[in-house]
A and B are shown apart, each in its own frame.
Chain A
């Protein structure tokens, strides 16, 4: 009897010690890290993302937190530079002592942080850069939400083929000469091969290019009618401006970053009703409902900055919180990872397809919807529901 009591006490003591040693968790608080692009030309990605984290955390905390613990999000800027992402995560782990990670910046950035994530068994939900390199090979603590660029471009080109341009379409692609651009071209290749279309021009350009006059002259000369526009932000807008100058009649498929209001405003003057495909909803009742919710927690100024990056941050943090919630009071990283791995059909309020990580790749939200920007209405409209491609 005495031995049993001692054994139980020792076990209890050990579990308490183990629990107490769990970083980023106290009786009243759980710290979640966010490494993001808060400065530089792509800062609106990080700012949109931080807004989503703020709304999710505020909603969770207003409802009593996670099993009574308040959720705190700590954001570190990486300026979109992979070496700085590594430093930022080191600081979040060593100094702030975070429990889990939600914001992970771009593809190269999350890959730079991967050794730290793996070493610390850090529960991580990747929502911003769901590239294949993130989930292959599978890292036990990493969960990926989102489709890849290959599927996003294939979905748009398929929609154009099925509903707009048909057999006589002449396809052209302009893409960055990096891994992101290769993903875009993979979707283009898949579409052209499947539709038996004519792929007239393939042009790769360096990141940061502003002048696309020669590239678009090549497109014009080849008689391109469907353009896979792999430019982002001002680059995508400059490509369409050149097309307008050359009086090209094209249907343009774009990167999902063009779905944010600031990007759409840049491209709008060219007058093309361009498309994007995304794994989060851009318009519809779910978005309207989200904005009503957001209004409770953010200012009107912040409200105007809501973008797709806000939605992905919100979904990522809510998913992570659900994993933590299922662990109950005795929250550990191991338990959170286990619960996330078992997550099935977690509803995101219609902002994306339901999330299930119970698959070998720990990958979800790969279904994409196709949207078109209506230049006259200055708004996106949904062309198709979320669908697997």
Chain B
């Protein structure tokens, strides 16, 4: 029983990281119809920025998050203006390839600036072990799960009730109709990139606090992709749930089957989902895949 609970608890922790990263994917896809293959690299970059801020200003966790998120959103805006905006009107495939190029640029730039060595990064959090119901956690793990819950709630409220959130949904439903009703599609696209970069900052910071800060964090973007497929490419909250499910599947399969199952379990899920329910658990049916 203890073993099962340990696997479930740590599966939820890694699932929360997948969920946050997957939400960034879904948010951009929902608003722009583009799969941003640089999402993992934005997670990596924003984690390094948080690291520099933490070292420079000696901030504790909450102020660090509050400073890092706006900076990351600004970076998202800049990336959208430089790399994506000029591509508007081009085939979706070309834009997707631009994000692939962006990913390579961000990876190289990060190593050029911060080097390739991994770092310990507590992000201003305690490292004392906390037991909840007899199950041990590091504070960073609890923060990660709490962050997923808070971000899901915030994004749901934003999409449901805010003017920009409704505009975003309108663009997702029918971009031409939204344009005709006066919605600034360009602004919506920029906002989607900003929000997804803000979420990436939370994911990157907390992932690094849990598993060290290293340039290979970008790979978590790829590992989170099954979560987006499972939840539905255009379902932001579905992607979060997909992340938790993938995290659990990975940990339970590694714990009970073993031998590297953790690494392939998520991708087995992708194949099964694509075969049975191609639009994901919460996605819309008419998704055009690239």
Contact = CB atoms under 8 A, between A and B. Distances in A.
Contact of B6 (A39, A205, A217): A217
A245 B138 contact: yes
A237 B116 contact: no
B203 interface: no
Interface in B113-164: 115-120, 127, 129, 136-138
Contacts, number: 99
A208 B116 CA distance: 14
A273 B238 CA distance: 44
B219 A208 contact: yes
A129 B255 CA distance: 32
Interface in A310-364: none
Contacts of B138: 241, 245
Interface in B258-274: 258-260, 262-263
B254 interface: yes
B280 interface: no
Nearest to B107: A40
Interface in A11-61: 39-44
B212 A177 contact: no
B258 A211 contact: no
Contacts of A218: 3, 255, 258
A242 to B, nearest CB: 8
Interface string B7-29: 10011011000000000000000
B215 interface: yes
A238 B13 CA distance: 14
A262 interface: yes
A200 interface: no
Nearest to A241: B138
Contact of A211 (B117, B118, B211, B259): B211
Contacts of B251: 213-214
Interface in B214-238: 214-216, 219
B129 A247 contact: yes
B260 A43 contact: no
Contacts of B129: 244-245, 247
Contacts of B111: 39-40, 43
A204 B260 CA distance: 6
A265 interface: yes
Interface string A239-278: 0010011110000000000000010011001000000000
Interface size classification for chain A: 35 or more
Contacts of A234: 118, 211-212, 214
A231 to B, nearest CB: 11
B117 A269 contact: no
B212 A237 contact: yes
Given A40-B111, A208-B216, A209-B263, A217 B255 contact: yes
A199 interface: no
Contact of A214 (B10, B116, B211): B10
Nearest to A203: B258
B262 A238 contact: no
Contacts of B119: 266
B116 A41 contact: yes
B258 A245 contact: no
A96 interface: no
B102 to A, nearest CB: 19
Contacts of B137: 245
Interface SS of chain B: helix, strand, loop or mixed? helix
B247 to A, nearest CB: 9
A245 B118 CA distance: 21
Contact of A265 (B120, B255, B260): B120
B133 to A, nearest CB: 15
A269 B6 contact: no
B7 A214 contact: yes
A244 B141 CA distance: 14
A214 B252 CA distance: 8
Nearest to A205: B260
A41 B260 contact: no
Nearest to B260: A206
A44 B117 contact: yes
Given A40-B111, A238-B211, A211 B262 contact: yes
Contacts of A84: none
Nearest to B14: A211
Contact of B260 (A44, A177, A246): A177
Nearest to B258: A203
Contacts of B263: 205-206, 209
A380 interface: no
A173 to B, nearest CB: 13
Contacts of A262: 117-118
Nearest to B216: A41
A42 B120 contact: no
A214 B254 contact: yes
A233 B118 contact: yes
A270 B230 CA distance: 35
Interface in A157-196: 177
A185 B84 CA distance: 49
A266 B116 contact: no
Contacts of B127: 269
Nearest to B2: A221
Given A237-B120, A237-B212, 7 more contacts: A40-B116, A217-B7, A218-B258, A234-B214, A238-B211, A245-B138, A246-B136
12 contacts: A40-B116, A43-B116, A44-B116, A203-B259, A206-B260, A211-B211, A214-B250, A214-B254, A237-B120, A247-B136, A266-B118, A266-B120
What 9 A-B pairs have minimum CB-CB distances, sorted nearest first?
A: A213-B10, A214-B254, A234-B118, A234-B212, A43-B116, A217-B6, A214-B255, A210-B211, A206-B263
